[in-house]
Structure 1
Amino acid sequence: MAISATPDRDVPGEKISNRITTAELAAAVEQLRFVTDAAPLLISYVDAGMCYRFVNSSYAAWFQRTADDTLGQHVSAVVGEAAFAVIRPHLESALRGERVSYEAAVPYSKGGHRFVRTELVPDKLPGGAVRGLVGVVLDITDRHNAEERERFLAALSDRTRLLTDPSAVVEETVHAVGSFLNLSRYMYADIDAGAGTVTVYSDFRRDGNVFSVAGVWPLAAWGDVVRDLAAGHTVVNRDYQTDPRTVSDWEAIYEETDIRANVTVPLHRNGEWVAIFSAQMCGEARDWSEEEVSLLESVAHRMWLTLENARLRRSEQTALTRQRRFLRDVLFSLTAGKLSLCDTAEDLPAPLTPMSEEIILSRPEIRSLRKQVESVAETIRLPEDRTQDLLTGVGEGAMNAVVHAGGGIGRVFADTERGVVQVWIRDTGGGISEEALPRALEKGASTAGTLGHGFWMILHTCDRVWLLTGAGGTTIVLEQDRTAPEPEWLRDVDLGT
């Protein structure tokens, strides 16, 4: 970057003085350097040939150079060919006269991969020609990495927070963290301090050269660091072969698992050491950064809460399953085997032969469904009294779908040989709460959002009823035989001879 001195003349051709003396010029340059060196930025001036004409001290130091060593050098010789390939298009745009702003990950030859925000301002002559550019670079690697870590943690939480299987939480966590930090191995293990064991259920392994350590291990295999872990301290080991806590046990213990470096975070419940998350490097040391250790601690504590919640949800789910099974058995018993409460669609009966098209249920169309049922009943010679009972049950079921779910679908099936009429009624309402099911058996019961009034009548007019209900809707299947089935209680009576 050039600074020129222009003589002042009071009349054309007559030189009076040099307004900027050599000393003043040197002072101006020194002042410019002082200002740019004080800025927390990398500042440079590059000419049209992409050679440096000025760099501040921060810029030179970043590449382990002095300013004098850098001046006159081509950009590629200073930043490295890989980095130059990234920034070259931006330099070319600026040298065409465009002001350029960009953020990019740049693989510098010195200083490694850095994430930078760069401003390139073209230096234009009065005629518009570009003679160079000013580059201002801000290293935002730390901020970028912090944001990336937060995004990673948020994404991991989103993927695991609703899981009810604890093993799925562990599996998702160890694979996500192991890949994100490029670990050799990452694992979760339960601790039984009383038995002196470490139980590894699942571990991430970077490649086939890293073997699994899943299984039960003696706590003694962790050597002297066990005391720190039991006390609740994260153990950071950058090299087991040189760390004073492990050097004496290296060949006897750690070589067995090929661990060379690790970060192990202990987890405690009610003051008792119960688990660990451990990040490991196999066959190579690793200089763990503070940010990496902090991330591993955050993951361990967040995922521990997620794991505990998954265990709680699993326990609640198991209790609900037992409760629903009990309710199903009670309802089946109370209705003399007529009512089957279904957990899934697979529990519903197989549809018989279709005897009609589906009917979209509304108040007027309930009559159409009843007419179809009446016609099919006549076809299979269902007695009049049993036909009327079935029509009553179908009418009540269809009306419940219309009133409480806004509508539904009805269809008639039959087995003409066995003399069975089967009617399916489906809706997409909010389902029936388990708390309301016992009340639905009461005569005249009516609760919005449930089967309500008429369910008692359905059970007293149809031979068999299947009920599948949940947040996605309700399905009722009604069956009526040509001949009334023998009562459940009578089947269990030994009449003798």
Structure 2
Amino acid sequence: MNETVRRQSILIATQHEIAHAERELDAVLSIVTRRAQELSEADGAVVEMADGDEMVYRSASGSAAQQIGMRLSRHTSLSGRCVGESRVLSCEDSETDPRVNREACRKVGLRSMVVVPLQFLGQTIGVLKVYSSRPNAFGDAVLPLLEMMVSLIVAAMSAVSEAEARKALSISEARQQTLLRDVLASVTEGKLRLCSCADDLPEPLTPFGQPVTLAERMGLCELRNLAQEAARFAGHPESRQSDIATAASEAGMNAMVHGGGGVARVFTGANGIVRIRVEDHGSGIAMENLPKATLARGFSTKATLGHGLKMMLETSDRLYLLTGPSGTTVVIEQEENPPLPAWLADAFE
């Protein structure tokens, strides 16, 4: 195998290994140091990271494998100089190069080396170094190969940073949703239950009638009548029959106008409970619009479930809301008799 083919095979193998490293930075660094040593036929390879006035061995292979964690002064090492100058530096013979610590090189058996800067987000944060016990061990052909290996490290660091940023954003959004859920539950006296997943929605009870298709203002009257019949069947007084019918109508209207249509189902259960579940596949309602939609009659977000949310809260005992980019599910619940306000219920506990 000639040298060009050998190096191409190593590069291909490196990219394959990194692709299966699952964005684990330490695994990528280990792969790069090992393959960089192989590419350059060096005795050892090291990824050093700048840490204040020191350079830290973050990953190492070959004769340097046992030196991970070792610290060197930035001011007396070629690696430190490389970080400061942000350019490739090489030492052909440590015995005659005044830039290196001759005694330190002798201790590790180093005679020649190449250090390539590792730049991330506009700053030089470390180096990739290969070294040999032989003087003049590295020719010019090695430099572009090492720079390519450094680019693989940078790509891995970018992927890790992006993944960490997404994770942090997800955590932040989850915290915001938890806070919003608690605030909305408080200002609605426990009526509005903001759900984060389908498991948070109440389980269906016994179906009452058939599912109602909501499309182009069709099905709205049928849903209203079915909700009222279910409330009458459950023993609700006339005023509450009218309330649950109004809430169902508002939920159905929103599904049609803002969600492009949907499906409504009515259920009844023990103790006179009536539940109405309305689902659509609209674009959902943005979290930041929920407070206004909850507190302002007639507020519309021009997305799923804007107009009428306040009316639904006023005419039902509880409202479960699950909303997102793939659609919205509303579950309206009413008992035979109005439950005690949350503040009064707490007083009796």
Q: Report the counterpart of residue 279 of structure 2 in structure 1.
A: 426
Structure 2 residue corresponding to 1:219, chosen from 68, 71, 85: 71
Structure 2 residue corresponding to 1:339, chosen from 182, 192, 210: 192
1:407-426 equivalence runs, <5 A: 407-416=261-270, 418-426=271-279
Q: Report the counterpart of residue 193 of structure 1 in structure 2.
A: 52
Question: Structure 1 residue 397: deviation in Å?
Answer: 0.8
CA gap of 1:235–1:427, structure 2 versus 1, over 3 A, is: same
Bigger Rg, structure 1 or 2: 1
Amino acid at match of 1:481: E
Question: Structure 1 residue 168: deviation in Å?
Answer: 3.9
Q: Report the counterpart of residue 296 of structure 1 in structure 2.
A: 149
Question: Which structure has the higher relative contact order (CA within 8 Å, separation 6+)?
Answer: 2
TM-score, normalisation: structure 1: 0.52
How many Å separate the matches in 1 of 2:130 and 2:201?
51
In 2, are the aligned partners of 1:191 and 1:199 still within 8 Å (CA)?
Answer: no
Structure 2 residue corresponding to 1:484, chosen from 331, 338, 341: 338
Q: Report the counterpart of residue 170 of structure 1 in structure 2.
A: 25
In 1, are the aligned partners of 2:36 and 2:45 still within 8 Å (CA)?
Answer: no
In 2, are the aligned partners of 1:238 and 1:286 still within 8 Å (CA)?
Answer: no
SS at match of 1:426: strand
How many Å separate the matches in 1 of 2:66 and 2:235?
69
Tell me whether 1:472 sits opposite 2:331 in the alignment: no
1:254-403 equivalence runs, <5 A: 265-267=117-119, 275-276=125-126, 278=128, 289-362=142-215, 363-403=217-257
How many Å separate the matches in 1 of 2:24 and 2:38?
19
1:445-460 equivalence runs, <5 A: 445-460=299-314
In 1, are the aligned partners of 2:36 and 2:146 still within 8 Å (CA)?
Answer: no
Question: Structure 1 residue 218: deviation in Å?
Answer: 4.2
SS at match of 1:296: helix
CA gap of 1:189–1:238, structure 2 versus 1, over 3 A, is: closer
Q: Deviations over 1:79-102 (max 9, x none)?
A: xxxxxxxxxxxxxxxxxxxxxxxx
Question: Structure 1 residue 429: deviation in Å?
Answer: 0.9
1:103-114 equivalence runs, <5 A: 113=5
Structure 2 residue corresponding to 1:230, chosen from 83, 89, 92: 83
How many Å separate the matches in 2 of 1:347 and 1:205?
51
Question: Structure 1 residue 460: deviation in Å?
Answer: 0.6
In 1, are the aligned partners of 2:55 and 2:73 still within 8 Å (CA)?
Answer: no
Q: Deviations over 1:178-234 (max 9, x none)?
A: 89879699998864326x57485xx7999xxx98998xx242399834423431546
How many Å separate the matches in 1 of 2:189 and 2:264?
26
In 2, are the aligned partners of 1:235 and 1:263 still within 8 Å (CA)?
Answer: yes
Q: Report the counterpart of residue 291 of structure 2 in structure 1.
A: 438
Question: Structure 1 residue 457: deviation in Å?
Answer: 0.4
CA gap of 1:391–1:175, structure 2 versus 1, over 3 A, is: farther
How many Å separate the matches in 1 of 2:299 and 2:246?
17
TM-score, normalisation: structure 2: 0.71
Structure 2, unmatched stretches of 5+, are none
Structure 1, unmatched stretches of 5+, are 1-106, 116-140, 161-166
How many Å separate the matches in 2 of 1:358 and 1:205?
66
1:35-114 equivalence runs, <5 A: 113=5
Amino acid at match of 1:219: R
**What is the RMSD computed on CA atoms of the aligned residues?**
5.0
Amino acid at match of 1:346: D
How many Å separate the matches in 2 of 1:175 and 1:249?
24
In 1, are the aligned partners of 2:317 and 2:334 still within 8 Å (CA)?
Answer: yes
Hey, which of these two has a bigger chunk of strand by percent? 1
Question: Structure 1 residue 404: deviation in Å?
Answer: 0.8
SS at match of 2:219: helix
Amino acid at match of 1:476: V
In 2, are the aligned partners of 1:232 and 1:268 still within 8 Å (CA)?
Answer: no
Question: Structure 1 residue 479: deviation in Å?
Answer: 1.3
Q: Deviations over 1:336-394 (max 9, x none)?
A: 11112222323333333444554332222233333443343344333332222112111
SS at match of 2:81: helix
SS at match of 1:399: helix
CA gap of 1:302–1:332, structure 2 versus 1, over 3 A, is: same
